[in-house]
Amino acid sequence: MCPLDPPPSVVGMKTAVLGRPAGDAMADVNRELLDVMTDDWWRRLDRARLPRLIALTDAMLDELELLNLGDVPRVSAEWRERLVQLFVSLPFEYRPRLRAFPSPTEVLDVVFDVQERLFALKNHGAGELSAGLPSMDAQDVDVPEEVLAS
């Protein structure tokens, strides 16, 4: 008889099939609960962030309108950093294509587009944002040829 063979008293007996230990089920429940709580926390954080982002874009639009009314041909380099900070703060991906020193009107169009998406999220949630608006990747700003030449 091989040492690995079962003893004769066990041969022919039915063996019980054990399920997962009870601790595994509890761990699964805890993991699911943590996922739900985390998702809820992120949703609340996004809801609190939206009004601040809308207020920020409102202030940016006011400044850009003043630059536009003052016939300023190009926004300053400071605007590039401000826009980057806005884009990385958004609860969605947004990558516009802007020249190094765009006109106030070009930046106005981009900030209006961002604000439209923020209001869609605020009023209708993420489903409206993905269903009713064009893709958020690589937005093109229409720039007249004469502006590009200058």
Q: What are phi and psi of 139, to 5 degrees?
A: -70, 135
Give the pLDDT score at 138: 36
Q: Residue 91 domain-assigned?
A: yes
Q: If you average pLDDT over each of 19-23, 48-52, 104-108, 121-125, which comes out highest? A: 104-108
Q: What's the total number of domains in the chain? A: 1
Give the pLDDT score at 149: 42
Give the pLDDT score at 24: 79
CB of 93 within 8 A of CB of 135? no
Between the alpha carbon of residue 26 and those of residues 21, 37, 39, the distances in Å are: 9, 16, 20
- Of 13 and 138, the structure prediction assigns the larger pLDDT to 13
Mean pLDDT lowest among 26-35, 45-54, 124-133? 124-133
Q: What are phi and psi of 44, to 5 degrees?
A: -65, -40
Q: Residue 106 domain-assigned?
A: yes
Model pTM above 0.85: no
Q: Residue 107 domain-assigned?
A: yes
Domain with 64 in it: 50-149
